[in-house]
Chains A and B, each alone.
Chain A
Amino acid sequence: MFGELIYLDNAATTRLDERVLEAMTPFFLKTYAIATSQFGYSAGIEAREAIGAARATIAKALGAAPEEFVFTSGSTESSNIAIKGVALALGEKKGKHIITSRVEDFPVLHSARTLEKQGFQVTYLDVDEFGRLDLDQLRDAIIPETILVSIQAANQEIGTLQDLVSIAQICKDRGVLFHTDATHTFPRVPIEVQEVPVDLMTVTAHLIHGPKGVGGLYVRKGTPLNKWMDGGFQEFNLRAGEENIPAAIGFAKAVELTTPEETARLEQMRDRLIERLLQIPHSQLNGHPTLRLPHNVNVSFRFVEGESILLHLDMKGFAVSTGSACFSRSLEASHVILGIGGNHERAHGSVRFTFGRYNKSGDVDAVADVIADVIEQLRAISPLGKEL
């Protein structure tokens, strides 16, 4: 079954693009030196120039200056550096209040929890039924002690995009730093830091057919940020540790290869799949109908359970994800579906499909046909829904 896999879990990770691998290979086998100072040996200078070029490519996609972009080991580290770094820089000086939302991904949510244990106050903002933030609630939540607002660019499960322009502007007007987790948007949904006054932005490579284990953090010039992992002076003295040069090269290549035309193609597949799935009785779209990630579909099917759906699809060669409690390691239902006002039943029957470069347009009808059968089969043995 692994030969014929139709992979629809591209928000979990993606297949590496061969062209990315090709760009990376010389930096494993030939130019494997570390990035030395300008007075180092030539192999090191070559490596330094290569990572500099990679940085410039990614910074350009963000509308940032190269020295405003720090390479990290991935978005988990980026969000940790941003949130805990600001807390260390401003906690004693300005205040100990942080604002985030209930539906953030775990790097942000758990960084906030850790700070709470250390005496910070955290406000977790609600979202509406589509997963959108209430901007008035954000305005009201900002107090003189607030040092940071961290709101995701798009949701990892239901794909809802936030109004980043307005959120960033509110923070700027109130003199509060703004971090956004753009793991799932960059660079498909462009966010230019010249237009959106964001101070810190988390990005990653492995969701756009780049390598795993590399990400980055945009840090606007002058943003107070304390380094807390000690070591060398790499990455403008913000992130210690030898730079992962092959991965950084791969990240830049992956950014270059991500085009608006491709994103438009994913969007078409998304819309077609949503249309097909909503034809199944007792199905419901999770997230916003239009303000959503170009490659994300998330639908709940009543009276059936997600792990069972996932296993049946796996047996037929499809990889998808579910918010069901039965599927999670902790047996907890998706905090995102509960956050948009859904109940356990809705989380239980939720299935996420995410497209990527290697999906063909035929995959849409293939999965839609199969899932319709699976749902029917599971509903036939379910004690629920028979009276309807």
Chain B
Amino acid sequence: MPDFPYSEIVMEHFRHPHNVGRIEEPDAKSIEGSPACGDMVALYLKVDEKSHRITDIKFESYGCASNIATGSIITEMAKGKTLEEAKAITWRQASEALGGLPPIKTHCSILAVDGLQAAIQNYEERHGLIKERVPTTVEVVRKRLKRVMNPLVGLDLVRTKLVKEIKVADGIVNVALKLPDNHQFAPNIHEEIIEKIEPLWDVTQVIVEFEE
């Protein structure tokens, strides 16, 4: 047999993904990625109000095999766990459970893990579980930019050193990029940055600057 890039476990989850579909009237949901940038994952949660246990979880994927397989394994791992337990699930654990993923496919699989974290956060925000509101700082913005992918290499903007400068003042966030405005991915990256930063509670405006 030829040496396939995907493990047998990945292929099994790709062929028969678990927990796919939508939950009508979910208690929380998240959408990570965008069709423009490539892969996209939607995640839906049902959470028991008292125990904060995930009673049902479903996902939808517009993506490649590693994206679908990670969505499948991460929902299996999170099902029945409390929100606090589910928050601790890492990409590494998901990848190990799948018998490893090709390095170039890291970004497609991280998306599903980010989706779970974002859905939990969405639940906490909706149900007033966030105790204190942290003011937005440069570090907070940087952390969020780590979830915006540079599609050229499949790694995030921060790791690929595309972020030149971040400024935060009076609710206005300014992100300067080392990327020309006529770059093929510029509009997509722009849109994704806005999507990630704008929901922060004390942010009123997001400005993205490209190089001439």
Contacts and interface: CB of A to CB of B under 8 A. Distances in A.
A304 B21 CA distance: 15
Interface string B143-159: 00000000111100000
B68 A381 contact: yes
Nearest to A303: B62
Contacts of B129: none
A170 interface: no
A380 B153 CA distance: 29
A381 B154 CA distance: 23
B151 A325 contact: yes
Contacts of A303: 62
- Residue of B11, B20, B31, B35 with most chain A CB atoms under a 10 A cut-off: B35
B151 A326 contact: no
B152 A344 contact: no
B38 interface: yes
A381 B36 contact: no
Interface string B63-85: 11101100000000000000000
B164 interface: no
Given A331-B154, A381-B17, A381-B20, A344 B63 contact: no
Contacts of B60: 381-383
A324 B42 CA distance: 20
A95 to B, nearest CB: 27
A interface SS class: loop
Nearest to A326: B64
Contact of B64 (A324, A344, A382, A386): A324
B64 to A, nearest CB: 4
Contacts of A383: 31, 40-42, 60-62
A305 interface: yes
Contacts of A381: 17, 20-21, 60-61, 68
B40 A326 contact: no
A315 B31 CA distance: 29
Contact of A305 (B20, B37, B39, B104): B39
Given A325-B151, A383-B61, A311 B21 contact: no
Contacts of B21: 380-381
A125 B82 CA distance: 57
A285 interface: no
Interface in B1-49: 11, 14-15, 17, 20-22, 31, 35-42
Contacts of B136: none
A207 B211 CA distance: 44
B38 A348 contact: yes
B119 interface: no
B38 A304 contact: no
B51 interface: no
A329 B38 CA distance: 15
Contacts of A380: 20-21
Contacts of A386: 22
A308 B152 contact: no
- Residue of B21, B36, B63, B184 with most chain A CB atoms under a 10 A cut-off: B63
A49 interface: no
Interface residues of B, number: 33
A344 B188 contact: yes
B69 to A, nearest CB: 10
A21 to B, nearest CB: 23
A381 B105 CA distance: 20
A314 to B, nearest CB: 9
B120 interface: no
B68 A308 contact: yes
Contacts of B153: 331
Contacts of A343: 36
B41 to A, nearest CB: 7
B36 A344 contact: yes
A43 interface: no
B193 interface: no
Contacts of A304: 62
A311 B62 contact: no
Given A344-B36, A383-B41, A383-B42, A326 B62 contact: no
Contacts of B152: 330-332
Interface string A111-136: 00000000000000000000000000
Interface string A321-355: 00011110111100000100001110010000000
A307 interface: yes
B184 A338 contact: yes
Given A307-B65, A344-B37, A382-B62, 14 more contacts: A305-B38, A308-B14, A325-B151, A326-B39, A326-B64, A326-B105, A331-B154, A343-B36, A344-B36, A348-B35, A381-B20, A381-B21, A383-B41, A384-B35
Q: Which 10 A-B pairs rank lowest in CB-CB distance, beginning with the nearest?
A: A383-B42, A383-B60, A326-B64, A307-B64, A381-B20, A345-B35, A382-B62, A331-B154, A384-B62, A305-B63
Interface of B: 11, 14-15, 17, 20-22, 31, 35-42, 60-65, 67-68, 104-105, 108, 151-154, 184, 188
16 contacts: A303-B62, A305-B64, A305-B67, A307-B64, A315-B15, A324-B64, A329-B104, A331-B104, A331-B152, A331-B153, A332-B152, A344-B188, A345-B36, A382-B62, A383-B40, A383-B60
Interface of A: 303-305, 307-308, 311, 315, 324-327, 329-332, 338, 343-345, 348, 380-384, 386
